[in-house]
C-alpha cells in the first residue's frame, strides 16, 4: 500500500502538471534571475525529488565567505520535508520566506535545524535577514515547475552541465555589471549595484573578504536615496581608510574592528571612493545617489549637478556620536565636514 507521503507527492505532481499544461503558453516558468543576482553559488537547481527529507546547509561557502545556503536552489516533491541545518560558520543566520510561510530563529549554533514542508507545488523564495544584501538567498521548488536561475559567478558553467541542474537557460551568463568608467573593473567582489534606496542609513563593511583577502568594501557599489547616511564599519583585521579626496571624504587610517565613519549625501550623483592602502588590489567602492550620475560628484560641481548639496563626513562622528569629540567646519562650496 502506498504511504501517505507517496500519495501526497503523486497528487501534488499531478496537480502541478495540470497547472503547467494549462498555462505553458503564457507562463513557461519562474524567472529567479533577479532574486539570485548576487548569489554566487546559484548555479542551477539541485533535483532532490524522491527524497522524504532534503537537507540544506546554512552557512555554506558562498558570496565571499560562509554566507550561503547549500544548495541555493533545490527541487523537492510536494509533501517532502526541507531541513535547514546550521554549520556554525559565517555568524548568526536565519531562514525567512518572502511570502511569510516560515521564519526560523536567528542563531549561530552548529547543528541547529529548522524544518518546513511545502504541501503544494510552487516556488518559495527565502533569505537570511542579516546577509540578504550579500546574496544569502535560496529557493525551494516543489514539483516540476521550470525555473530560470541566474549565475553570479565570473565563469558560469555551461547550460546543462552537471547531473543535477535543470536545463533551459540556467547556464546563460548575465551581462557584465557596469564598472563606472573602469573604477570597479579590478574589484573582484563587485557583481552589481545593491539597491538600498528608501533606507535612511546604509552600512558598508570595511575589510570584508574580497580581492585576495580581507581587502573589500561590501557591498562595493550601493544605490541610496538622497539624504541617506552611509556608515562604513571596520570588520577586517588590517589598517584601512575611506578616501574620496574630491569630496572631502577622508577617514583615519586605522586598525580598529567596529570603528565607524559616516557621510550623508544629498542630491543626485555618483561618489567614488577607495582605501589608500589597498585600492590597487581592488578595494574600491561607489555610492550612487538618487537618479544617478548626471555627472561626477565633486565639491566644485556639487551645486550645479544637484550633486552632494550638503555632504557631512564625520570620522568620529558628531552626527552619530560614535565617539566623544568632533569639530565642524563649512567651506565655501557648501560642503560640511566633521
SS3 169: coil
0.75 exceeded by the pTM?
no
Which residue carries 523537492 as its cell? 76
Contact 123, 6 (CB under 8 A): no
How far is 14 from 186, CA to CA, in rounded Å?
A: 50
Contact 125, 100 (CB under 8 A): no
Determine whether domain 4-10+27-148 maps to CATH 2.60.120.10: no
Residue 23 sits at φ, ψ, to 5 deg, of -125, 10
How far is 159 from 300, CA to CA, in rounded Å?
A: 50
Q: How far is CA 239 from the centre of its chain?
A: 25
What string of pLDDT tens digits covers the 338 residues of the chain?
444 343 333 333 333 333 322 322 333 578 998 999 889 888 888 999 999 999 999 999 988 888 999 999 999 999 999 999 999 998 899 999 999 999 999 999 999 999 999 999 999 999 999 899 889 999 999 998 898 886 433 322 222 223 333 433 443 334 456 788 788 988 999 888 888 888 889 999 999 999 999 999 999 999 888 888 899 999 999 999 999 887 778 889 999 889 999 888 777 788 899 999 999 999 999 998 887 654 343 333 332 223 333 343 433 233 333 332 222 223 333 333 33
Q: Could you tell me which residues come within 8 angstroms of residue 312 by beta carbon, excluding any fewer than 6 positions away?
A: 229, 262, 263, 264, 319, 336, 337, 338
Q: 45-70 burial, b if ≥16 CB within 10 A, otherwise e?
A: bbbbbeeeebbbbbbbbbbbbbbbbb
In the chain, residues under CATH classification 2.60.40.420 are 4-10+27-148, 194-337
- Domain 194-337: which CATH number of 2.60.40.420, 3.40.50.80, 3.30.565.10, 3.20.20.140: 2.60.40.420
Amino acid at each position: 500500500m502506498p504511504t501517505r507521503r507517496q500519495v501526497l507527492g503523486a497528487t501534488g505532481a499531478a496537480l502541478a502538471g495540470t497547472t503547467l499544461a494549462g498555462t505553458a503558453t503564457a507562463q513557461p516558468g519562474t524567472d529567479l534571475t533577479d532574486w539570485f543576482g548576487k548569489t554566487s553559488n546559484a548555479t542551477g537547481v539541485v533535483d532532490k525529488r524522491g527524497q522524504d527529507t532534503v537537507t540544506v546547509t546554512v552557512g555554506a561557502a558562498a558570496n565571499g565567505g560562509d554566507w550561503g545556503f547549500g544548495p541555493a536552489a533545490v527541487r523537492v516533491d510536494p509533501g517532502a520535508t526541507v531541513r535547514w541545518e546550521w554549520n556554525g560558520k559565517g555568524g548568526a543566520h536565519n531562514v525567512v520566506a518572502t511570502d511569510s510561510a516560515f521564519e526560523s530563529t536567528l542563531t549561530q549554533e552548529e547543528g541547529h535545524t529548522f524544518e518546513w514542508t511545502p504541501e503544494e507545488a510552487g516556488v518559495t523564495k527565502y533569505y537570511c535577514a542579516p546577509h540578504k544584501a550579500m546574496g544569502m538567498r535560496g529557493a525551494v521548488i516543489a514539483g516540476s515547475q521550470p525555473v530560470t536561475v541566474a549565475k553570479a559567478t565570473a565563469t558560469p558553467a555551461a547550460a546543462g552541465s552537471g547531473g543535477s541542474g535543470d536545463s533551459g537557460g540556467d547556464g546563460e551568463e548575465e551581462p557584465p555589471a557596469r564598472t563606472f568608467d573602469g573604477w570597479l573593473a579590478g574589484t573582484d567582489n563587485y557583481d552589481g549595484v545593491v539597491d538600498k534606496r528608501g533606507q535612511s542609513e546604509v552600512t558598508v563593511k570595511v575589510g570584508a573578504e574580497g580581492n585576495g583577502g580581507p581587502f573589500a568594501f561590501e557591498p562595493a557599489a550601493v544605490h541610496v536615496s538622497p539624504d541617506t547616511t552611509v556608515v562604513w564599519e571596520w570588520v577586517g583585521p588590517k589598517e584601512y581608510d575611506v578616501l574620496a579626496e574630491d569630496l572631502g571624504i577622508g577617514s583615519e587610517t586605522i586598525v580598529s574592528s567596529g570603528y565607524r565613519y559616516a557621510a550623508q549625501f544629498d542630491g543626485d550623483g555618483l561618489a567614488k571612493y577607495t582605501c589608500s592602502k589597498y585600492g590597487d588590489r581592488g578595494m574600491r567602492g561607489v555610492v550612487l545617489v538618487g537618479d544617478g550620475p548626471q555627472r561626477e560628484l565633486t565639491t566644485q560641481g556639487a551645486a550645479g549637478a544637484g550633486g552632494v548639496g550638503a555632504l557631512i563626513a564625520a570620522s568620529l562622528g558628531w552626527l552619530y556620536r560614535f565617539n566623544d569629540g568632533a569639530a565642524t567646519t563649512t567651506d565655501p562650496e557648501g560642503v560640511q565636514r566633521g
